[in-house]
Amino acid sequence: MMQDEILKILKERSEGYVSGAEFSKALGVTRASIWKHMENLRSIGYEIEAQPHHGYRLINTPDKLLADEIRWSLKSRFIGKKIYSYDSTGSTNERAYALAEEGAEEGTAVVAEEQSGGKGRMGRKWSSPKGGIYLSLILRPSLVPTEVSKLTLVAAVSVARTIRKLTGIQALIKWPNDILINRKKLCGILTELKAEQDMTAFVILGIGINVNTKQILLPKQATSIHNEIGRDFPKVELARALIESIEEHYILFKKDRFKAIIDEWKNLSAVLGSRVKVVVHNRTIEGQAIDLDEHGALIVRLDNGFTERVIAGDVMLV
């Protein structure tokens, strides 16, 4: 697209000006048409200076989850190669699911600035106002459906690591799908799948992170990166780093190195060693979370001395 070409040149030459003549020579269009594209970019939020005798210069890039912005300098190989981005959508997981059914390839990403029907697990809702990152990835691993929950741990490790690396926040993982800071929820992960004859057709990995979200728009036990570091954090940069990290950990996982993920997970765990209540279906068990086994199940030692292995459930830190 012409607009992408223009942006590419502006970004590569952001130190100086690029004249209208240079643009029209490089791209084979009139200067009037270049001017129109500049107006369009401005309306999206790009700040572009125009100097009569020098030309155009990119001053500021909007921190919007635009596909091209995320892809710019993205170092991953297949995750995020194709990105669909929305200003607003119902649920990125549902968009991704529909795309996967139409045959979208592994690594396809769907991202939105806000969701009107963000989903949590078991029919719960995910508050998705502007300011957060709502990202869903299509994966096509060869896994039996019962193994797919391992990918939630892969994603959790990737999110926690990325947030720590970029913001310095001591993010921890609460089994199975929450990222916490000081016991408040910063991120949730929703892993969905389509199975066909006991094989997994595809997996949708959905991740919601409160980045610059206004605190009053979040549930009580939630926090955001802004809230923790006291300023806005660039969402695009975070989304890009997250995609790269997920790819790295996913490749590790596919190389049969789930053990390495488990070890990393244990280092980042907010639950191991703590007293927990776990709701499993309609039953609640209470005890000490003592381990994560090689399948990613949580091992809880009950007060009566017995241990239970939990594959799916909700954990509360007591």
**Under the criterion CB under 6 A, does residue 215 sit at the interface with ligand BT5?**
no
Tokens of 117: 């029907």
To ligand BT5, the closest distance from the beta carbon of 122 in angstroms equals: 6
Q: Which stretch binds ligand BT5 (CB under 6 A): 85-93, 158-166, 227-235, 303-311?
A: 85-93
Are 182 and 202 in contact, with CB atoms under 8 Å apart?
no
Q: Which stretch binds ligand BT5 (CB under 6 A): 114-122, 141-149, 156-164, 278-286?
A: 114-122
Using CA atoms, how far apart are residues 2 and 252, in angstroms rounded to an integer? 38
| Nearest residue to 47 via CA among 55, 115, 114, 56 | 56
To ligand BT5, the closest distance from the beta carbon of 34 in angstroms equals: 37
To ligand BT5, the closest distance from the beta carbon of 83 in angstroms equals: 14
To ligand BT5, the closest distance from the beta carbon of 52 in angstroms equals: 46
Beta carbons within 8 Å of 98's beta carbon, 6+ residues apart: none
Among 121, 140, 275, 295, binds ligand BT5 (CB under 6 A): 121
Looking at the Cβ atoms of 34 and 179, the one nearer to ligand BT5 is: 179
Among 61, 108, 136, 158, binds ligand BT5 (CB under 6 A): 136
Q: Which stretch binds ligand BT5 (CB under 6 A): 17-25, 46-54, 127-135, 275-283?
A: 127-135
Looking at the Cβ atoms of 47 and 232, the one nearer to ligand BT5 is: 232
Are 109 and 135 in contact, with CB atoms under 8 Å apart?
yes
Give the long-range contacts of residues 11-15, CB within 8 A, separation 24 or more.
Answer: 11/58, 11/61, 11/72, 13/57, 14/57, 14/58
Tokens of 107: 């690594």
Residue 6: its H or E element? helix 2-12
**Under the criterion CB under 6 A, does residue 126 sit at the interface with ligand BT5?**
yes
Q: Which of residues 220-239 bind ligand BT5 (CB under 6 A)?
A: 222
Among 76, 85, 92, 269, binds ligand BT5 (CB under 6 A): 92
Are 248 and 254 in contact, with CB atoms under 8 Å apart?
no
Among 11, 42, 124, 194, binds ligand BT5 (CB under 6 A): 124
Residue 149: its H or E element? helix 149-167
Q: Are strands 109-115 and 283-292 parallel, antiparallel or unpaired?
A: unpaired
**Under the criterion CB under 6 A, does residue 313 sit at the interface with ligand BT5?**
no
Looking at the Cβ atoms of 61 and 224, the one nearer to ligand BT5 is: 224
Using CA atoms, how far apart are residues 163 and 237, in angstroms rounded to an integer? 11
Q: Are strands 172-174 and 55-60 parallel, antiparallel or unpaired?
A: unpaired
String of contacts with ligand BT5 for each residue 169-208, x by CB under 6 A: --------xx------x--xxx---------------xxx
**Residue given tokens 């004249």 in the structure block:** 19
Using CA atoms, how far apart are residues 92 and 110, in angstroms rounded to an integer? 6
Q: Which residues bind ligand BT5 (CB under 6 A)?
A: 91-93, 115, 118-122, 124, 126-127, 134-136, 177-178, 185, 188-190, 206-208, 210, 218-219, 222
